[in-house]
């Protein structure tokens, strides 16, 4: 009887390695390396002496077990999938798409109710993406129905479509984990895209394309960009309690936008009842479209390595230096603003920040 030699990764002959590779899928190099490592681990732990001539027999046994476990795994995956879908995944997708449509409808109503000074209105739609597969297109048709229209039969059809989509994705991405497959297939947001609409008085409503946007005036361009954002924030905050803050933070707010268009943009934030927190290099809100604003102007002294803050308040009619009376304050204000501001006492503190502080 031939002497049995211990099988080690380094000692395994090249021919035996090719035999091992034949028992795995040609493109599955990870499985090939895993089996090599597992066999060597088996020898280390259990001190099993395996001869090189036994590789083929051992791998046939492994291949049979892998095939058997693979079939069981597929059955388990199908069972879990059916349980989850029957447990409400399809129903949840239908409900979330319906809620999203309602939210976009509210946003569209808000933007159309706030025309620009020229009378031009902006609309928002959530439309089906044009690059969908046939099954994705069928899924969007099913979730488009209302709850009564979908019914048990429609829900069962939606489950079947989602099941086929999962199988298709798994076949196209065999190495994707089950979690990754579900995340990709069930992300209904990828089925739709947002579309802005342009309604000019006396003209037919059209989709707001990049070319159409370039043809608009400077103020209309700014409003067309910011109006949908403010409407989205308003729609989101409308689902919260009335006492919750409605904060929108903008860094370098309205940078590059002409000063003559800023009053209308700031007026939109007031119309939507948004609490704005903005930073900018030269940002002063003193427009009659804004009833109240507080400014903190920061001055960095590089020589002294200090930062000073100057608080200025806009009460809807005039800018008030909240720190007036402090030594050196006027000189600092003149340096920061480039002008020497006049000092005013508010005609009335009712409804202003000063009344809140008092």
CA distance 102 to 65: 52
Domain ranges of the chain: 75-208
The confidence score (pLDDT) of residue 38 equals 56
User: Which tokens is 307 given?
Assistant: 């930062």
Q: How many CA atoms lie within 13 A of 97 on its CB side?
A: 26
CA distance 193 to 183: 18
DSSP 189-242: GGGEEEEEEEE-TTS--EE--HHHHHTS-HHHHHHHHHHHHHHHHHHHHTTS-T
The confidence score (pLDDT) of residue 46 equals 44
CA distance 297 to 301: 13
Comparing CA positions, the residue from 80, 82, 75 lying closest to residue 156 is 82
CB 85 within 8 A of CB 163: yes
CA distance 202 to 196: 18
Comparing CA positions, the residue from 107, 92, 76 lying closest to residue 187 is 92
CB 122 within 8 A of CB 223: yes
CA distance 32 to 10: 15
The confidence score (pLDDT) of residue 172 equals 92
Per-residue pLDDT of the chain (358 residues; tens, 9 = 90+): 444 444 444 444 445 545 555 544 445 555 555 555 555 555 554 444 444 445 455 555 655 665 555 555 556 665 665 555 544 778 888 888 988 898 899 889 988 988 887 888 999 999 999 999 999 999 999 988 876 777 888 888 888 888 888 889 989 998 888 788 888 888 899 999 999 999 999 999 999 999 998 888 887 888 888 888 888 888 888 888 888 889 999 888 887 777 888 888 888 889 889 999 998 887 888 888 898 888 888 877 777 777 777 777 787 887 877 666 555 556 655 654 555 655 455 556 666 555 655 5
CA 111 to chain centre: 21
């Amino acid at each position: 009887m031939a002497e049995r030699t211990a099988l080690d990764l380094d000692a395994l002959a090249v021919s035996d390695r090719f035999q091992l590779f034949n028992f795995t899928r040609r493109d599955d190099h990870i499985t090939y390396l895993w089996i090599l490592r597992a066999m060597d681990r088996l020898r280390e732990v259990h001190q099993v002496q395996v001869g090189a001539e036994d590789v083929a027999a051992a791998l046939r046994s492994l291949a049979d077990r892998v095939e058997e476990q693979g079939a069981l795994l597929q059955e388990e995956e199908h069972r879990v999938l059916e349980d989850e879908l029957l447990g409400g995944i399809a129903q949840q997708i239908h409900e979330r798409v319906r809620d999203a449509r309602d939210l976009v409808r509210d946003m569209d109503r808000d933007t159309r109710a706030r025309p620009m000074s020229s009378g031009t209105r902006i609309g928002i739609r959530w439309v089906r993406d044009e690059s969908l597969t046939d099954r994705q297109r069928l899924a969007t048709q099913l979730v488009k129905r209302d709850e009564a229209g979908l019914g048990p039969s429609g829900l069962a059809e939606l489950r079947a479509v989602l099941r086929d989509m999962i199988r298709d994705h798994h076949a196209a991405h065999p190495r994707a984990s089950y979690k990754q497959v579900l995340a990709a297939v069930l992300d209904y947001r990828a089925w739709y895209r947002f579309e802005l609409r342009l309604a000019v008085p006396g003209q037919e409503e059209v989709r707001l394309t990049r070319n159409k946007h370039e043809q608009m005036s400077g103020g209309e361009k700014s409003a067309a960009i910011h109006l949908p954002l403010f409407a989205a924030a308003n729609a989101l905050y409308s689902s919260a309690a009335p006492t919750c803050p409605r904060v929108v933070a903008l860094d370098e707010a309205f940078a590059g936008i002409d000063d003559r268009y800023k009053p209308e943009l700031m007026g939109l934030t007031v119309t939507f009842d948004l609490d704005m927190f903005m930073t900018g290099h030269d940002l002063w809100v003193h427009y009659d479209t804004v009833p109240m604003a507080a400014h903190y102007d920061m001055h960095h002294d590089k020589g002294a390595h200090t930062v000073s803050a100057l608080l200025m308040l806009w009460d809807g009619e005039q800018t008030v230096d909240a720190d007036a009376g402090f030594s050196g304050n006027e000189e600092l204000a003149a340096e920061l603003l480039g002008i020497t501001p006049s000092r005013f006492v508010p005609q009335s503190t009712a409804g202003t920040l000063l009344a809140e502080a008092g």
